Structure 1
Amino acid sequence: MSTLAAIPTPQEQLKFLKQIQQILQSGTFTSTYKFALLMSLVRLAIEQGEDTGSDLTLDYLDIAEKFIDLYWKQSLPFQFNEYDPFVLQQSTGQQAAIINHIRLAQSQFKTLAAVRRDSVFWLKLKKSVATTVKQMPVVYLQNINGQTFEFLYCLADSKQNLVLLPKVMYCLRQFSEIIEELCQKRWIDYIRGNRKNLLVLDGLPDLNEFMFAPSRNQLGQVANVLIDLQQCQCFYCGKSLKNKKYAVDHFIPWSLYPADTGHNFVLADDVCNSQKSNYLASEDFLEQWMIRNQLHNQTIQNEISQLGFLTDIERSHRVAGWAYEQAKENGYLMWRGI
C-alpha cells in the first residue's frame, strides 16, 4: 500500500458496486475464472488491506492460493443420484486448466493440507495457477461488451503484481458480503447452465452446498480436536458438553467471511450455537477467542491443519479486526451470550 488517497465518497462507493454488478450481469463468461478472481480480490483485501483509500499490491501467488482454495473441493468428483461421479465442467470448451492442475495435485495428495506441506510441489502448483490467472481472468475481467473499463486495476501496472487502484481496496472490504453473494450465485448459475453439466445437474436442489459449503465430515473431525482443546466445555457459556449436542461454530460468521481457517473454529453447545447464529459475538468473546488462539496456536496448527484447513493465526486475527470494524461502522447487532 503506497498511494495515499481519501476514502471513497458514498457516491463513489455506489458507482463501484454498480460496476461490479455490470461485470457480473453484462460481462462475457467462457469459464468461472472471473467469479473466482473477484472473490479472491475481496478476501485478500480483507486479509492484507485496511480501511483507507490507498492502493493495494497483491502477489499473484497469493491470488493463486485463493483460486486453489476455491476450486479444490469443486475439482473432486461429484456424485448425484444414479449418475457416475464426475467433475463439474467449469468452462464452455475444454475443462478449465486450473481444474486440471488441481486434479493432478489431488491424484498425488489426499488433502489440500498435504499439498501445502510439500513446499516444492505447493510452489509449483501456485505458479502454474498464477500463470493462468494472469493470462486469462486478469486480462478479461474488466471487459464489458468489447470495451475495457479499468476501475479495479490497470493492466499495464499489473504485470509482476496485481495493483488495486486507490479506493478499490476500501470498497472491496465494505461490500465483501454483497460481492461474495453475487459471485457465488452467478457461479452456480453458470455451472447449472453449462450444457456439459446440464443433464446431471438439472434436478439438483442445492449445488451451493457442494461447491462452497464446508464439508460436514471435516467439521466433525475438527470437533474431535476442539473437544479436548476446550476441555469438553462450550466456548461461549463454559458449560460441560458431556452428553449434550454440540456443533463447530465459525467464530467470525461464515456469512461475513465464507472461508474456513483453523483458528476460526470453536465448539459450542446447541443452544449457544443456535442463538449466536450469524451474529458476531461481543468483544468480550473476541478477547477470549484471541487468547485461546495464542495459548493453543501450536495444537491448532498441528492438528487442524492435518484435516485440510489453513491455519494462520495472524490472518485469522486480521479478518477478525476487519469484521469488528465493519460491525462498529455499520451498527451490527452483536450476540452477548446467554
Structure 2
Amino acid sequence: MPDLIPTAQEQLKFLKNIQLILQSGSFSSTYKFALLISLSRLAIEKGEDTGTGLTLEYTDIAEKFVELYWKQAVPYVFNDEGQLILNQNNGKQAAIVNRIIELRQIYSSLGLLRRDSLIWLKLVKDVARTVKDMPIRYLQNINGQNFEFLYQLDQCGKQFILLPQVMFCLRQFSEIIEELCQKRWIDYIRKNSTNAPILNQLPNLEQFMFEPSRNQLNAVANVLVELQECKCFYCNKPMKKGTYAVDHFIPWSMYPSDTGHNFVLADSSCNSKKSNLLASDEFLHKWQERNEEQDLIIVDRISILGFLTDKDRSHKVAEWAYAQGKENNYAIWHG
C-alpha cells in the first residue's frame, strides 16, 4: 500500500469525525476522553508524519491513562473547608481512578511508583485490560453503530493498530484534539450527578485536572537552579531568587504533558518574551545537549517529584513540534 499523506479534505473529514464522537457519542465515564488524548500523544511520541498505520502496545496506552488520572486522584479543594475527589464515572467511581487513589496513599509521587517495578507493572497491565475492554471497544460507537475511522476492533488483538492516515492526522491536529477533549472532560465532570451539586460553577477545574501544581514546579526550580548554576537558560545571565520561572521548552500550549527533560529555568524577562513560542534552533541544540549531558541527574532528581523523565520521548516531541512549526510558519523566538 502506498504511503499516502491524507489530502486536506481527508484531514478535515478526520477532524469532523473526532468532533462527531465528542458530540454524539455516549459517555458513561471519562475514559473515552483519556483514550483520545492518549492516542494523540502516543502518535507524537512514537509516530512519524507519514500516512502509514501505527502499532501500539496496550500498556503504552495504559501508561498514558495513569499519567492523566494520577493528578486527578486527589481531593479537589474548592473552598476553605470543602474537598472532593472528582467522580469520573456515572455511578460509583471509575475503577482505574479507585486503584490510583489506593496507590497514592502509598506513593507520594508517580515517579516513586514507577520505581517499584513489580507494582507498576501490575498496575499498567490491569489498566491496559480495562482500557481494552471498555473505551477502546466503545469509543467509535455512535448511536449503537460502530464508526471505525480510527482503528478496526477485529484487527486489534494482542496489539492496538491505528488505521493508515490516522497517525498523521492525530499528529497534525494534536493541539485541537487536546483542547476539545479537555473541555468536554471538564464539562462531564461538572455535570456528573455526584460532582454537580458541589462544583456548580467553581473555577480552576482545568488547572487542577490537567496542569502541574505550583508546588511541583517550585521543586523543579530548585533542581534547575543547581543544574544551571542559577543562570537563565536563554540569556545566560545570573538570576536572583524570585526572578526566575520554570519554562516548558516545548510550549505547554503545543504539548500539554509534563516531562522532566522539557523543563528549563528562565529569568522573568526571557520567560515572558518567549511565552508560548518555540525557541530558535540555537536554543533547541543547546537544550538537546543539556539533556544528553545531564540526563542521569534529571532522571534521578526530577522523576521523584512526580514527572516522567524520558529523554528520547522529550526529543521525539520536540522533533514533532519543530516540524509543525516549520510547516505552519509558527513564529520563532530568537532571544
TM bucket normalised to smaller: over 0.9
| CA deviation after TM superposition for structure 1 residue 16, in Å | 0.2
Aligned partner (choices 318, 321, 328) of residue 320 of structure 1: 318
Cα gap change, 1:295/1:110 in structure 2, threshold over 3 Å: closer, same or farther? Answer: same
| Pair 1:201 & 2:229 matched | no
Query: Matched residues in 2 for 1:243 and 1:209: separation?
Result: 25
Query: Matched residues in 1 for 2:80 and 2:153: separation?
Result: 46
Counting matched residue pairs gives 335
Aligned partner (choices 119, 135, 138) of residue 137 of structure 1: 135
Superposition pairs for residues 12-51 of structure 1, below 5 Å? 12-51=10-49
| CA deviation after TM superposition for structure 1 residue 216, in Å | 0.7
Q: What is the SS of the residue equivalent to 2:195?
A: helix
Q: Give 1:290's aligned residue.
A: 288
TM-score normalized by the length of structure 1: 0.97
* Contact 2:279 2:332 (C-alpha < 8 Å) held by counterparts: yes
Q: How big is the alpha-carbon RMSD for the aligned residues of Structure 1 and Structure 2?
A: 1.0
| CA deviation after TM superposition for structure 1 residue 56, in Å | 0.3
Q: What is the SS of the residue equivalent to 1:172?
A: helix
| CA deviation after TM superposition for structure 1 residue 146, in Å | 1.3
Q: Write out per-residue CA displacement over residues 94-145 of structure 1, whole angstroms, 9 at most, x where no aligned residue.
A: 1111101111211221111111000000000001111110010000000111
| CA deviation after TM superposition for structure 1 residue 151, in Å | 0.3
Q: What is the SS of the residue equivalent to 1:71?
A: helix
Q: Write out per-residue CA displacement over residues 291-324 of structure 1, whole angstroms, 9 at most, x where no aligned residue.
A: 1111111110110111111111000000000000
Superposition pairs for residues 232-251 of structure 1, below 5 Å? 232-243=230-241, 245-251=243-249
| Pair 1:332 & 2:330 matched | yes
Query: Matched residues in 2 for 1:181 and 1:133: separation?
Result: 22
Q: Give 2:86's aligned residue.
A: 88
Q: Give 1:186's aligned residue.
A: 184
| Pair 1:78 & 2:80 matched | no
| CA deviation after TM superposition for structure 1 residue 256, in Å | 0.3
Query: Matched residues in 2 for 1:157 and 1:104: separation?
Result: 34
Q: Give 1:8's aligned residue.
A: 6
Query: Matched residues in 2 for 1:307 and 1:100: separation?
Result: 22
Query: Matched residues in 2 for 1:203 and 1:140: separation?
Result: 30
* Contact 1:101 1:129 (C-alpha < 8 Å) held by counterparts: no
Aligned partner (choices 101, 104, 122) of residue 103 of structure 1: 101
Q: Give 1:68's aligned residue.
A: 66
* Contact 2:56 2:160 (C-alpha < 8 Å) held by counterparts: yes
| CA deviation after TM superposition for structure 1 residue 203, in Å | 3.2
| Pair 1:216 & 2:241 matched | no
Could you tell me which amino acid in structure 1 is paired with residue 262 of structure 2? N
Query: Matched residues in 1 for 2:327 and 2:298: separation?
Result: 31
Aligned partner (choices 297, 300, 304) of residue 298 of structure 2: 300
Bigger shift: 187-196 or 99-108? 99-108
Query: Matched residues in 2 for 1:307 and 1:243: separation?
Result: 20
Aligned partner (choices 148, 161, 170) of residue 172 of structure 1: 170
* Contact 1:101 1:128 (C-alpha < 8 Å) held by counterparts: no
* Contact 2:279 2:334 (C-alpha < 8 Å) held by counterparts: yes
Query: Matched residues in 2 for 1:194 and 1:244: separation?
Result: 40
Q: Unaligned stretches of 5+ in structure 2?
A: none
| CA deviation after TM superposition for structure 1 residue 4, in Å | 5.0
Aligned partner (choices 152, 157, 175) of residue 155 of structure 2: 157
* Contact 1:4 1:55 (C-alpha < 8 Å) held by counterparts: no
Bigger shift: 318-327 or 107-116? 107-116
Could you tell me which amino acid in structure 1 is paired with residue 5 of structure 2? I
TM-score normalized by the length of structure 2: 0.98
| CA deviation after TM superposition for structure 1 residue 199, in Å | 1.5
Q: Write out per-residue CA displacement over residues 29-71 of structure 1, whole angstroms, 9 at most, x where no aligned residue.
A: 1000000000000000000000000000010001000000000
Identity in percent = 64
Query: Matched residues in 1 for 2:249 and 2:60: separation?
Result: 24
Q: What is the SS of the residue equivalent to 1:253?
A: coil
| CA deviation after TM superposition for structure 1 residue 79, in Å | 1.5
Query: Matched residues in 1 for 2:21 and 2:315: separation?
Result: 31
* Contact 1:54 1:166 (C-alpha < 8 Å) held by counterparts: yes
| CA deviation after TM superposition for structure 1 residue 243, in Å | 5.0
Query: Matched residues in 2 for 1:139 and 1:211: separation?
Result: 25
Q: Write out per-residue CA displacement over residues 193-246 of structure 1, whole angstroms, 9 at most, x where no aligned residue.
A: 011001211131121010001111000000000011001100001110025511
| CA deviation after TM superposition for structure 1 residue 159, in Å | 2.1
Q: Give 1:115's aligned residue.
A: 113
Could you tell me which amino acid in structure 2 is paired with residue 129 of structure 1? V
* Contact 1:34 1:141 (C-alpha < 8 Å) held by counterparts: yes
Query: Matched residues in 1 for 2:206 and 2:79: separation?
Result: 17
Could you tell me which amino acid in structure 2 is paired with residue 149 of structure 1? F
* Contact 2:110 2:304 (C-alpha < 8 Å) held by counterparts: no
